[in-house]
Amino acid sequence: MARIATAPPANSLLRLRLSVDYPGRPEVLHNVSLDINEGEIVGLIGESGSGKSTLALAILRLVEHRGAISQGEIVFRGCDLDRLNRREMQQIRGKEIALVSQSALASLNPALRIRTQLAEAWKAHESPGSGEWKRSGLDIFERVGLPTDDTFLHLYPRQLSVGQAQRVLIAMALLHRPRLLIADEPTSALDPITRADVIGLLRELNRDMNIAILFISHELLLVASLCRRVAILEKGEIVESGSAEEIFYDPQHPYTRALIGALPVKLPSVDADFRTTQNRTETLVVDFSVPSRRRTVRE
């Protein structure tokens, strides 16, 4: 493996070196190395079964509930999460690190109205006797483009469109203003227009709230349109990582080259104009102006 190693930056938010084994399925993740800075959007690309969702659950220490064994370290804001007890981890999960999964309707409780689910999400980390949940929740609802009237809050998840349900899930994940949002295939069940809306929403939340995002997807063009740095996951291993420009215009690993080569459209050429944020192409909106800290390619 070729690597350009650098020390973790001063604004490092998450640093992990991780392997995960399931009973009967060893090395679902093998020596995965990933770093995310404060306020950064990092893309994780991989096919179905590559271990993407396992990585998301491992960061939140949820794989152990499924019988998995994880080894390594997960350092969040200087704290090794593997050393926390169950109660301490519960204070991190959902408050400091939040998860948005790919199936919003499956993630929301079908028996509870939206208002009740919002209140329950608030009570998980804040005082239940305060009316602050409503003020904070409605502020987030407005930010993600959802209605805040009593009629909407009185609805059940089954009465929402898929796009509305995904926005509700994002709003609930943002309720406690987390430092890191893990978005695990959040657009896979959406139509193209709603998908574009959600991508735009994630970009705005990152810009306005300085929330770091780990964007997990198998859709390369979505990752290219959103992320500054990208990691490629193949069969449980990070085979290549670097800036979006490096990954999409100068891929080194054969698997990365195969993924790029399979794109249904040709990427726009990179020139001096394309590298600036003032003259963006309409084919693929990517800001490649920020240099990468690290380039990793596994032989």
- For residues 10-34, average pLDDT: 92
Domain ranges for the chain = 2-38+46-90+226-297
CA–CA dist 251, 240 (Å, integer): 8
Question: Tell me, what's the pLDDT at 279?
Answer: 33
pLDDT in tens, 225-281: 999 999 999 999 999 999 999 999 999 999 999 999 888 877 765 543 333 333 333
CA–CA dist 106, 168 (Å, integer): 12
CA–CA dist 281, 258 (Å, integer): 24
Class at the top of the CATH hierarchy for domain 2-38+46-90+226-297: alpha beta
pLDDT in tens, 87-102: 999 889 989 999 998 8
Q: Which residue has the higher pLDDT, 294 or 197?
A: 197
Question: Tell me, what's the pLDDT at 226?
Answer: 93
Q: Which residue has the higher pLDDT, 14 or 125?
A: 14
pLDDT in tens, 150-185: 999 999 999 999 889 999 999 999 988 999 999 999
Q: What would the DSSP string read from start to end of 24-47?
A: TEEEEEEEEEEEEETT-EEEEE--
pLDDT at 297 over 60: no
pLDDT at 295 over 70: no
pLDDT in tens, 101-138: 888 888 899 999 999 998 888 887 776 555 667 778 88
CA–CA dist 55, 25 (Å, integer): 15
The residues pairing with 180 across neighbouring beta strands, listed in sequence order, are: 97, 212
Strands 180-184, 97-100: pairing is: parallel
pLDDT at 289 over 80: no
pLDDT in tens, 78-88: 999 999 999 99
pLDDT in tens, 37-64: 999 999 999 998 899 999 999 999 999 8
Global pTM reads 0.85
Q: Would you mind telling me the total number of residues written for the chain in this entry?
A: 299
CA–CA dist 168, 73 (Å, integer): 32
